[in-house]
Amino acid sequence: MREQGYTVPVIFITGYAEVGTAVEAMKSGAFDYIEKPFAHQTFLDKVLRAIAESKLLYVKDMQRRATEARLALLTATELKILKLVAQGNSSREIGEKLGISSRTVDNHRGHMMEKLHVSSVVELVLIYTGEGK
């Protein structure tokens, strides 16, 4: 269900306790599975867990989208350089790999930092890896 864009958690409720049905429901993306009859508190606990999980997924999705939007500001060359920076390459190594001078690499890095409003290479890499603010 998630692959199809459903973001609301689904709790599969059934009157029949069949392992195959439960497995199929979970494979299809159900958040949880509950068999009737059930205690109200059990159901409430599952709903509250589903809501909490849904909030986490929503926050992660918003962070991913924000990162994608920020990285979309960069040129193809800047993205190549950023990837190499994130892999731990020096300006000289990046320049050699891309056939440009280390000074040009440094200029690109500076432009990226300006575009993304960061003040350090660490912040730049954190944005690239999706862990930045």
Contact 85, 108 (CB under 8 A): no
CB-CB contact of 13 with 54 (8 Å):
no
What CA–CA distance (Å, rounded) separates 99 from 78?
Answer: 14
Residue 1 pLDDT class (50, 70, 90 cuts): low
In this predicted structure, what is the pLDDT of residue 33? 86
Task: Please give the share of the chain, as a percent, with pLDDT higher than 70.
Answer: 93
* Domain 2-66 sits in CATH 3.60.110.10: no
Phi, psi of 75 (to 5 degrees): -75, 170
Give 98's contacts (C-beta < 8 A, 6+ positions apart).
77, 80, 81, 84, 105
Q: Does 5 score more than 80 pLDDT?
A: no
**Stronger pLDDT, 73 or 26, i.e. the higher one:** 73
Token pair of 49 as six digits = 């867990």
Domain 73-128: top CATH class: mainly alpha
- Mean pLDDT of all residues in the chain? 89
Phi and psi for 32 in degrees, rounded to 5?
-155, 175
The residue ranges of every structural domain in the chain are 2-66, 73-128
Cα(66)–Cα(69) distance, integer angstroms: 5
